[in-house]
Structure 1
């Protein structure tokens, strides 16, 4: 059976249940409208790699898992969150459907093995420093740990200081090893670009996502927020929630056109 195309989306960090529910409502509506696509709610209980010591990191593991459990049960959506420490894998595995490994930690063997041993799906963000062909080693670690379903996510490569670029050759290269997700929002991030926080170029999210669809991917990843200008993390590269359905629907149309015409 062919796997469904996957769209992962949600606010960068769990700020409150209300914000998460607002986003989940939109995802649930899209899921009902497009049953052939798998919509996954994503948010982080902790952002351990913020630029500044004073930056908001989240409300912690216990609160975060409880919010994700509510979203999963109330809105009938699979949920994803990331972990930074090996012990967190078991803590989240009872609730989440997909455990995510952050880009900066993508080569951490113990973290990969701990996630793999939960039996959950694993999504690994490719590090900003890593060549696409080197992700083969990541997949081998996951397989060694017992993982049977996993994804690799492209989120841009460091290009000078405070800048990322996407080498779209990486998508077909990594698809040799695993299904590939394209992270359209983190790809326009300007890491540390605001001095004590990361900037972003939101206007390039949609064209880069279209490019990824054209090259060929197994899913897309977006961060979206009801009010990105007030978001406590990654606001400059999050999509305003009011714009999200239109962007997704246009990308689905593009993907359908490409598939129907064997382009």
Structure 2
């Protein structure tokens, strides 16, 4: 049976961020994820989670300068030192938050970039991140992201993520399988989920095409949840969607799974 984590960067935005933990718990969630925790002391976030009885499922490494449209550093030649600092900062937060998984965003490549050089940088950086994370008992995740939402993003399809994971060869590197992104880039969702189940460390969902609730749009999620169960996946499924209105008003889809 699927277990769902609320993504607090997208859900419950009618509340101040620190109040979203309690709102998620009140709605029936047992875990949360979000993009970045670094605006807040890790200890304060841990208190909010403990008070709400929640687990921390996932968050991202620092992505570079988000305001200047940077979306990760891992595949960017020349930014290796920045990436290494991001790894250490994220691990420090993960230890306080007891978070077992961290997403390392690949980054956006310039149109003229050498993709072969970017791939070499990506592999080397992920080896470094996995090595540092292993000592803390943390798994590093990589996520293929569609080119419509983030044009120029280095990693776009689950098969590409699998190739990178196999090349890096670290036991604590896994795929963050986002059904929303996969539908836009590849489709054939049930086959994709089954094909990459052995390297999948986290799953995320949203409706397609508008990225609203999972019962809004073209994807038959109840069917896919059965497929996910059949693969043996027992981790959290992150609800990384933008509610059409008030978050609680759109949670009817969740009731059968609580």
Question: TM tier, shorter chain?
Answer: 0.5 to 0.7
How far 1:101 moved relative to its partner?
A: 1.0
1:66-106 CA distances to partner (integer Å, 9 max, x unpaired)? 12211232343323213326524323323232514143245
CA distance in 2, matches of 1:71, 1:20: 6
**Which of 1 and 2 has higher RCO (CA within 8 Å, sep 6+)?**
2
TM-score using structure 1 length: 0.53
Corresponding residue for residue 91 of structure 1: 128
How far 1:23 moved relative to its partner?
A: 2.8
The change in CA–CA distance for 1:56 and 1:79 in structure 2 (over 3 A counts) is same
More strand by share: 1
1:145-178 CA distances to partner (integer Å, 9 max, x unpaired)? xx3x5343212312xxxx4344535322222432
Corresponding residue for residue 178 of structure 2: 125
TM-score using structure 2 length: 0.54
The 5 A counterparts of 1:219-230 are: none
Q: Which runs of 5+ in 1 are unaligned?
A: 190-200, 217-254, 256-263
Question: How much is the aligned-residue C-alpha RMSD, in angstroms?
Answer: 3.8
Corresponding residue for residue 207 of structure 1: 249
The change in CA–CA distance for 1:165 and 1:91 in structure 2 (over 3 A counts) is same
| Alpha carbons 2:37, 2:59 under 8 Å: kept | no
Please state if 1:187 is matched with 2:241. Answer: yes
Number of residue pairs matched?
Answer: 184
1:110-164 CA distances to partner (integer Å, 9 max, x unpaired)? 3223336433353311215157642422541453xxx3x5343212312xxxx43
Q: Secondary structure of 2:103's match?
A: strand
Q: Which runs of 5+ in 2 are unaligned?
A: 6-30, 74-81, 107-118, 147-154
| Alpha carbons 1:42, 1:81 under 8 Å: kept | yes
The change in CA–CA distance for 1:56 and 1:71 in structure 2 (over 3 A counts) is same
